[in-house]
């Protein structure tokens, strides 16, 4: 048996752990593993790949990024704009199938987010034996309670907030930290709460700058002269405005950015307090994965091989109630897991005085 593995979309800590887990599990079964470089693009004839065995993957679980490389562009993009789906051209899929047949690949593991898994589903529907492994640093796939990379991103946010606390207190400033989170605010919520943020602005809870300013003034009146604000890049004001760094039209998702600077300027104007902004950006994607992400990645990779052994194609690895299982890829894609405004964790944040920029926080 020879199987293939590729990762597509953005990189995140834990990808190499998935590769390590899949290669180790396959080697135990006596199978060969072919790793395709640069995502689905590596499937195009004559194929861009490398043979993987335990000697090639030893020690890679601690490394950030991916030894296979990745891309979110190219011939296989099935997601465009705000989650719209397009068909990968049939001739492109046929070329990929030709490569897989030539290399005698019996199954293909696709490690990716919602867009990449949508592409993987299309390949499966056209006869490619596919197993999906969820990868989203935003932790926003409904069919799995957690994905690798998320814990590492949160740790980066917490480290940044720990550092910003000291400079904010020294100068009695407001500091706004912009973090990742296009549709879901899990990184902002978890990172903000763990890092002691005073204001957390999420895509799921439209915010009003007046409420934010009032919260900062109230802190000042109580003798707390520094404030830390965490804002997800996809956070929307009550007008529904979404700030975009780059509009790419119908060719893919618009690049978000700028909400942190916007909020900082508004705060300074409305409160008179000196305010600075900081954007973490790709720092959240880089670096070594946490222990949790390494373990989760290895478990995901091993389960993907187990599903191939069982012949359960068209399935995606899923983590629920501390156990790794599987769900259908078709059920998993296009189902985002977002923060519920009245969830227990948000209520906990409100109860300790965190402002979410809405009327509830003001009350």
Catalytic residue numbers, as ranges: 138
How far apart CA 135 and CA 149 sit, in angstroms, is 8
- Assess contact for 150 and 24: CB atoms under 8 A: no
- Assess contact for 301 and 20: CB atoms under 8 A: yes
Place of tokens 């501390």: 322
Close Cβ partners of 30 (under 8 Å, ≥ 6 residues apart) = 1
Q: Is residue 153 helix, strand or coil?
A: helix
How far apart CA 281 and CA 145 sit, in angstroms, is 24
Close Cβ partners of 68 (under 8 Å, ≥ 6 residues apart) = 5, 6, 7, 15, 19, 35, 36, 37, 38, 42, 50
- Assess contact for 110 and 116: CB atoms under 8 A: yes
Report how far apart, in Å, the C-alpha atoms of 345 and of each of 7, 186, 305 are: 32, 11, 35
Pairing of strands 275-279, 244-246: unpaired
- Name 2's bridge partners: 32
Tokens of 93: 């899929």
Least Cα distance to 5 among 16, 95, 291, 13 occurs for: 16
Least Cα distance to 130 among 117, 140, 142, 148 occurs for: 117
């Amino acid at each position: 048996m020879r199987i293939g593995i590729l990762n597509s979309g953005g990189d995140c800590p834990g990808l190499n752990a998935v590769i390590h887990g899949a290669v180790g599990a396959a080697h135990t079964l006596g199978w060969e593993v072919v790793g395709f470089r640069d995502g689905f693009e590596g499937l195009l004839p004559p194929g861009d790949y490398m043979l993987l065995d335990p000697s090639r993957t030893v020690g890679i679980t601690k490394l950030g990024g991916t030894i296979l490389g990745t891309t979110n562009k190219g011939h296989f993009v099935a997601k465009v704009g705000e989650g719209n789906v397009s068909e990968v051209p049939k001739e492109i899929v046929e070329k990929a199938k030709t490569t897989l047949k030539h290399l005698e690949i019996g199954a293909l593991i696709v490690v990716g987010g919602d867009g990449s898994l949508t592409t993987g589903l299309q390949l499966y529907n056209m006869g490619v034996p596919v197993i999906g492994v969820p990868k989203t640093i935003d932790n926003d796939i409904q069919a799995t309670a957690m994905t690798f990379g998320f814990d590492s991103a949160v740790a980066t946010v917490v480290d940044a907030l720990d550092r910003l606390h000291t400079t904010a207190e020294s100068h009695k400033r407001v500091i706004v930290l912009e973090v990742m989170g296009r549709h879901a605010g899990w990184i902002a919520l978890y990172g903000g709460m763990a890092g002691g943020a005073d204001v957390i602005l999420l895509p799921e809870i439209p915010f009003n700058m007046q409420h934010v300013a009032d919260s900062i003034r109230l802190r000042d009146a109580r003798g707390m002269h520094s404030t830390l604000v965490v804002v997800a890049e996809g956070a929307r004001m009550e007008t529904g405005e979404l700030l975009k760094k780059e509009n790419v039209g119908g060719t893919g998702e618009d690049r978000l950015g700028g909400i942190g600077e916007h909020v900082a300027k508004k705060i300074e104007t409305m409160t008179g307090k000196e305010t600075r902004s900081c954007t973490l950006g790709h720092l959240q994607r880089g670096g070594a994965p946490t222990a949790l992400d390494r373990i989760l990645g290895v478990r995901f990779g091993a389960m993907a091989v187990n599903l191939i052994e069982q012949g359960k194609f068209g399935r995606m690895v899923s983590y629920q109630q501390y156990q790794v299982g599987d769900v259908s890829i078709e059920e998993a894609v296009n189902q985002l897991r977002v923060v519920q405004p009245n969830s227990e964790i948000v209520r906990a944040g409100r109860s300790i005085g965190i402002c979410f920029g809405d009327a509830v926080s003001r009350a």
